[in-house]
Amino acid sequence: MADSHDMVKKVFTTNSARVETNKGDAYYDSLFEKAKLRLKALKKQRPLKDIDMMDIVESEGVNRRDFMKWASATTATLMLPPMFTPLVAEATELMNRVPVVWIELQDCAGNSEALLRSSAPTVDDLIFDVLSLEFHETIMAASGHQADAQLEDAIEHFKGKYLLFVEGAIPTAMNGQYGTIGASGETFQEHLERLSKDAAAVVAVGTCATFGGIPAAAPNPTGAVGVMNIVKGKPVINIPACPANPANMVGVVLHYVLTGQIPELDSLLRPKFAFGYRIHDNCERRAHFDAGEFVEEWGDHGAQNNFCLYKVGCKGPMTFNNCSIIRYNEGANWPVGVGRGCIGCSEPDFWDKYAYERPMADANIKAPTGGVEKTVDQFGLGLLTATTIGIGVHAVTSAMVGKKTVHTKDGEE
């Protein structure tokens, strides 16, 4: 009993689970004032696209109230207190002041696909009409040489101001010849270096762009690396996951519009608002973990009753991401929802380390920020007798983390 108690304590109070998300009133008050000034200044700027957000929202039959509901949920996603909701709404309307250039390198276009299915009042209006997407190879109107010219125009015209979104890894082996782009045959690395030079910040989207992703899996035949290995002297924001969650892409842009700054990042350059806590911390199956109820194999009694997937290889306890809250495809579902378990796709090197069916106890892996490893497996097995302790410790930990305050106040569970 005592041993289990210690394990439980270690698992749920380790630093990895305690990212400080509530920064106190003084901080938020000052940020609020700053954001107000920032939005006022932005408003004076000429929009890049002459579109009124609310006209579009209303013309699509989405009323102001629904829009404010969305703004409130987004405020929660950004881990800001509810008083920011009107500012987030205003920032959304001002998103057309920030130019975005999106490039694809060694990728599968999965993140672009995810963005096309982003959640918003209606995706198209918010993302495509308001966000000033100046260049996107897959979905823009132009193609061929015309597209090349459009890209050059955009980076010249918005010098120093655009957010550069990068999808895909960068091959460095064989002088970068594993990936070239355009008529000139510029390598992906040269392309990225050139375009990031005049960007305000670089946003690496998806696990390929952040940590090299699947092309960098052993033996990494093309010498693939992530954006942060190439881009120096510029703010880099990593939004890993495969695919990255569009809510987090929109979140980063909104945060930038709102504050003029990039969001607070963790040691892996991931925004804390999205990667500040583990999937496990907010998992819908968490109660079953605490109760020691596990799926032993797919299709069993546990699977039919949505028990915890830890023993069939779920990597949720050591994966930092908000997908247990945001979910995918406009909230339709997420992998744990269908009983498959998390594969840890927002963690570095997950392809090689977090193999599919291998329970974590046998996987010889270490979470990048400290983690649960073997303890949880043993803990899980011994837990039937320690249920109450588990629940008790979990409640205490949640209170310490402070994240619940933010989410419950906004009604965004």
Partner 1 sequence: MRTVDIVERIEGEAKLVCTWDDKIITNAQIEFLNFRGFEYILEKKAPLDALIYTPRICGICGQAHLKATVEVLENIYKNLNYEIELTNKAKLLREIGLNIEIIDSHIKWFYMFIMPDITALSSKDFSSYKPLKGEKWLKSSFITSEIIKSLAIIGGQWPHTSYMVPGGVVSDPTLLDLTTMKNYLDSAINFFEDDFAGVCIDDYLSFSKAEDLDKIGKDLKDFIDLCFEHGFDKIGKSYNRHLVLSSTELFKVGKSNKRVINRVDLERIEESCEYTFNIDKNKQSKEAYTWAKNVRYADNFFETGPLSRAVISKRAFISKLHEKFEDSVLTRVMARMDEFVHLLYITKNLISKIDISEESFVKPKISLNEIKNAEAKSVVEASRGSLFHDISIKDGKISKYNVITPTVWNLGPGNKSEPSVAQKAIIGLDSIEKAEITLRSFDICSVCTTH
Quote the CA–CA distance of 378 and 384 in Å, as a whole number: 11
Choosing from 44, 46, 299, 413, the residue that interacts with partner 1 (CB under 8 A) is 299
Would the annotation count 191 as a binding residue? no
Report the sign of the C-alpha dihedral through residues 40, 46, 47, 52, in that order.
positive
Quote the CA–CA distance of 249 and 161 in Å, as a whole number: 17
Contact flags string 89-118 toward partner 1, x per CB under 8 A? ---------------x-xxxxxxxxx-xx-
Q: Are 399 and 14 in contact (CB under 8 A)?
A: no
Q: Is 227 in the site for partner 1 (CB under 8 A)?
A: no
Two structure tokens written together for 408: 């419950």
Q: Are 216 and 172 in contact (CB under 8 A)?
A: no
Q: Is 181 in the site for partner 1 (CB under 8 A)?
A: yes
Q: How far is the CB of 110 from partner 1 (least distance, A)?
A: 3
Quote the CA–CA distance of 288 and 304 in Å, as a whole number: 13
Q: Note the residue count of the chain.
A: 413
Q: Is 50 in the site for partner 1 (CB under 8 A)?
A: no
Q: Are 47 and 55 in contact (CB under 8 A)?
A: no
Angle between helices 2-13 and 373-381 (to 10 degrees): 140
Q: How far is the CB of 151 from partner 1 (least distance, A)?
A: 10
Contact flags string 304-343 toward partner 1, x per CB under 8 A? x----------------------xxxx-xxxxxxxxx--x
Q: Is 214 in the site for partner 1 (CB under 8 A)?
A: yes
Would the annotation count 323 as a binding residue? yes
Choosing from 40, 159, 221, 374, the residue that interacts with partner 1 (CB under 8 A) is 221
**Binding segment (CB under 8 A) for partner 1, from list 8-16, 70-78, 177-185, 261-269:** 177-185
**Binding segment (CB under 8 A) for partner 1, from list 15-23, 24-32, 93-101, 128-136:** 128-136
Q: Of the two residues 186 and 412, which places its CB atom closer to partner 1 in the complex?
A: 186
Report the sign of the C-alpha dihedral through residues 228, 264, 258, 88, in that order.
positive
**β-strands 224-225, 170-171: how paired?**
antiparallel
Q: Is 58 in the site for partner 1 (CB under 8 A)?
A: no
Choosing from 1, 2, 26, 218, the residue that interacts with partner 1 (CB under 8 A) is 218
Secondary structure (DSSP) of 223-285: -EE-GGGT--SS-EEEE-SSSPPHHHHHHHHHHHHHHSSPPPB-TTS-BHHHHSSBGGGG-TT
Choosing from 81, 171, 276, 292, the residue that interacts with partner 1 (CB under 8 A) is 171
Choosing from 29, 45, 55, 298, the residue that interacts with partner 1 (CB under 8 A) is 298
Question: Which residue do the tokens 């969305």 mark?
Answer: 70
Size of the site for partner 1 (CB under 8 A): 75
Q: Is 61 in the site for partner 1 (CB under 8 A)?
A: no
- DSSP class of residue 88 equals H
**Binding segment (CB under 8 A) for partner 1, from list 2-10, 134-142, 195-203, 256-264:** 134-142
Contact flags string 340-369 toward partner 1, x per CB under 8 A? x--x-------x---xxxx-----------
Q: How far is the CB of 63 from partner 1 (least distance, A)?
A: 18
Q: How far is the CB of 385 from partner 1 (least distance, A)?
A: 28
Two structure tokens written together for 383: 């837990």
Would the annotation count 136 as a binding residue? no
Two structure tokens written together for 134: 């100046």
Residue numbers 374-413 binding partner 1 by CB under 8 A: none
Q: Is 193 in the site for partner 1 (CB under 8 A)?
A: no
Q: Which residues contact 172 (CB under 8 A, 6 or more apart)?
A: 189, 222, 223, 224, 225
Would the annotation count 145 as a binding residue? no
Question: Which residue do the tokens 């519009």 mark?
Answer: 257
Q: Of the two residues 181 and 227, which places its CB atom closer to partner 1 in the complex?
A: 181
- DSSP class of residue 314 equals -
Quote the CA–CA distance of 131 and 56 in Å, as a whole number: 13
Question: Which residue do the tokens 């990039």 mark?
Answer: 262
Q: Is 224 in the site for partner 1 (CB under 8 A)?
A: yes
- The β-bridge partners of 236 are 202
Residue ranges for the known binding site are: 108, 208, 242, 280, 283, 308, 314, 323, 342, 345
Binding residues for [3Fe-4S] cluster, by number, are 323, 342, 345
Binding residues for [4Fe-4S] cluster: 108, 208, 242, 280, 283, 308, 314
